[in-house]
Chains A and B, each alone.
Chain A
Amino acid sequence: MKKLIELRDLQKHYPVRGGILRHQVGSVKALDGIDLDIYRGECLGLVGESGCGKTTTGKAIIRLHRPTGGQIIYHRGNGHDPLDIATMSPGALKREDIRGRLQMVFQDPTTSLNPRMLVKNIIAEPLREQPPMGSRELEGRILELLRLVGLTQDHYLRYPHEFSGGQRQRIAVARAIATNPEFLVLDEPTSALDVSVQAQILNLLQDLRQQLELTYLFVTHHLLVVKYISNRLAVMYLGKVVEIAPTKQLFVQARHPYTHALLSGIPIPDARQRSRRIVLQGDVPSPLNPPKGCRFHTRCPFVIDRCREEEPLLERFSEEHRVACHRKDEMERLVRDRFGR
């Protein structure tokens, strides 16, 4: 498989200012060294609790903000050289058409669509930055996009408030795919939707990926949703990737205690399968002052002295499965002995 996007030690620190002169007194380490490969045509799921840096990663990749350090290497294919977009200027981003190639769908369609714009203008907006089109052609393209996302010609001249939540999210998807991108960041695209509508949108995204040969980064906190749609899964905790594996493998043989806790925390919609869950104590520590050593050691049920001192690296565990834990080799036994799972 060919790589599409490569993150190398990606960092994003937000300065915290204090004092009379507003000098920097600390920094919130939202991303603290992310290494991630995204392959062409796959759907990579990115899961973690709120505040762990999932969305920041997504926004960094499409350069909605400039990372503090590290590289984002974009392999364009078709004989073009790979490009480091982490430090590119806004002008260069536009010249290389990065904006058109990498797009994003946001969480809540009620806030991501401008209430004062017609649907046709919302979808046409990204196209205005592309090589100019005749108005006939533009209209044709918009109607084609509406059809792709399961809306009809009737919806062309309406405002966002006239639509239901699911339909609004369809409009947001149409806008994101308007410029023929090859990569989409989907930032919790279904968490604002109801269960019955969520299934519609997930199926739509699946179809579009095959039809348009898209690559997805699917950011979510909902593990069952991500299991349904993604091929590989990366688990984040406090600005770091702690485990990455093919989805099926991760669900069957997770190696990081945090992944185990996340998996066991999912309420399963089946009354006869009430399982024993691993309930973590305490809360996620502040990213302003992350714990020394392994970041998870304050809540980990299997903590040893080494975890408090030495930060584990994201190491290869098996083919395609990487884990950042000192006790990864004995994790299966530890979880079984302690929780009987």
Chain B
Amino acid sequence: MSVLLQTENLVTNFYTYEGVVRALNGISLVVDHGTTFGLVGESGCGKSVAVRSMMRIIQEPGRVEGGKVVVFFDPDSQQRGVDLLQQSEAYLEHLRGDQISMIFQEPNAALNPIMSIGDQVAESFLFHKRKEMCARVLEELRRPDGPSISPLGAFQRHLYARAVRNPRDLLVTVAAKIPLLKHWQRRLKKEALRRSIEIIGKLGIPNPDKVVKLYPHNLSGGMKQRIVIAIALACSPLLLIADEATSNLDVTIQAQILDLLRSLKQTEIASILLITHDLGVVAETCDRVGVMYAGNLCEVADVGDLFHDPRHPYTQALLAAVPRFHQEGPLLSIEGAVPNLVDPPAGCRFHPRCPEVRDICRRQFPETVDMGGDHTVACYRYTDRPRAEGAP
């Protein structure tokens, strides 16, 4: 299996008036090409902060303060990884939405209420695939049986030709801003809309050519979430990050969306990083799972191993707290509450709620142990050694 995304010892802090919130306390995980990785945990455990740190979209007062986020674009050559934390903002702007894209939790907040659906999907094409689309329009213009040439036609062709050579060409940029002249982009926009209709159709939305003219308020929750997925998939990303993509949807609609993601996984996208608090969703869609608690990754395993042989006391308690299909007897709950990360417990952050707390748990965070079969746990049950300073 070849690595797609690897984070090493990722640390993110938020500098608030109440103090420093240590939201990520050294996260190291690996997402392989062609797999679905699930990140689970309760609210406030840092799942969203983790992926936002990877994409470098942490907002003030948060800061990514350490670690590496390495992406290996080519599955065949594992040498040339790119550390996203070292790259320029401009580089990331072109990466986000193109090679790595994201779906957010609340489709209402992710869509712009005053832009039509078509424009919102096309935006992604116009930003990332400009060159490719200009080439296609130019080809059409040059065809002998192509559209008839208006008086401005020659100029238009010239502009498209320049845009193909360099999308950020000065003349092209200026021409796009001047009234009347900016109409040269009409064909480009038409091309973007054509592609939008195509991708919306692929997501199983009926009448895509009508839907692109609608606005978000015309659509139901499930449809909106499909549109958000369409925007994320527009440029065929290598990695799709889904941050609680189905949490706000009804059961039957959630089933539709999960089905859709599963079928897209086979055809369109290489890998998915799924963030959720619902262990059921993880069990049904993921290949590998990481369990987070209070800014730490406590256990990573293949999905079957995690559900049948959980090793970390938190994972065990979490699984016991979920109501089951064949539930008999009372649910086991975890006493206490998730700690406040301004002043997290010293040592292992789970120790105040842990049934088997030992003396060393209160002092130092345990090292991560490999239990075999790609199953790693950070708990003193399986090791006596604390985590080395600065090591993952």
Contacts and interface: CB of A to CB of B under 8 A. Distances in A.
A271 B304 contact: yes
Main secondary structure of the interface of A (DSSP, over half): helix
Interface stretch (B111-119, B208-216, B324-332): B324-332
A269 to B, nearest CB: 4
A274 B281 CA distance: 10
Best-buried of A223, A224, A283 by chain B (most CB within 10 Å): A283
Interface in B165-201: none
Given A195-B279, A272-B307, A280 B252 contact: yes
Contacts of A281: 256
Interface string B320-358: 011111010011111101100000000000000000000
B280 A269 contact: yes
B132 interface: no
A272 B308 contact: yes
B250 A50 contact: yes
B337 A197 contact: yes
A49 interface: yes
A198 interface: yes
B281 A267 contact: yes
B303 A271 contact: yes
Interface in B225-267: 250-256, 258-259
Contacts of A203: 330-331, 333
A265 interface: yes
Interface residues of B, number: 45
B322 to A, nearest CB: 5
Nearest to A286: B220
A196 B334 contact: yes
B321 A269 contact: no
A268 B284 contact: yes
Contact of B308 (A225, A265, A271): A271
A30 B251 CA distance: 20
A198 B278 CA distance: 12
B283 interface: yes
A272 B305 CA distance: 10
B338 A194 contact: yes
A265 B256 CA distance: 9
Interface in B42-67: 42-43
A195 B220 contact: no
Interface string A19-63: 000000000000000000000000000000110000000000000
A284 B323 CA distance: 27
Given A166-B337, A271-B308, A195 B322 contact: yes
A269 B279 contact: yes
Contact of A264 (B255, B277, B323, B334): B255
Interface in A252-291: 261-262, 264-274, 277-281, 283-284
Given A228-B323, A271-B308, A274-B284, A195 B330 contact: no
Interface in A158-189: 164, 166-167
A294 B200 CA distance: 31
Nearest to B286: A271
A225 B327 CA distance: 10
A277 B334 contact: no
In the A-B complex, the 8 residue pairs with the smallest Cβ-Cβ separation, listed nearest first, are A267-B280, A199-B333, A194-B42, A49-B250, A265-B255, A196-B334, A199-B321, A269-B279
Given A199-B332, A227-B327, A272-B308, 7 more contacts: A50-B250, A197-B42, A206-B330, A265-B251, A269-B324, A277-B259, A279-B256
29 contacts: A50-B250, A195-B42, A196-B333, A197-B333, A199-B322, A199-B332, A203-B333, A223-B251, A224-B322, A224-B323, A228-B331, A264-B255, A266-B280, A267-B280, A267-B281, A267-B283, A267-B284, A268-B280, A269-B280, A269-B282, A269-B283, A270-B324, A271-B308, A272-B304, A273-B283, A274-B284, A278-B255, A280-B256, A281-B256
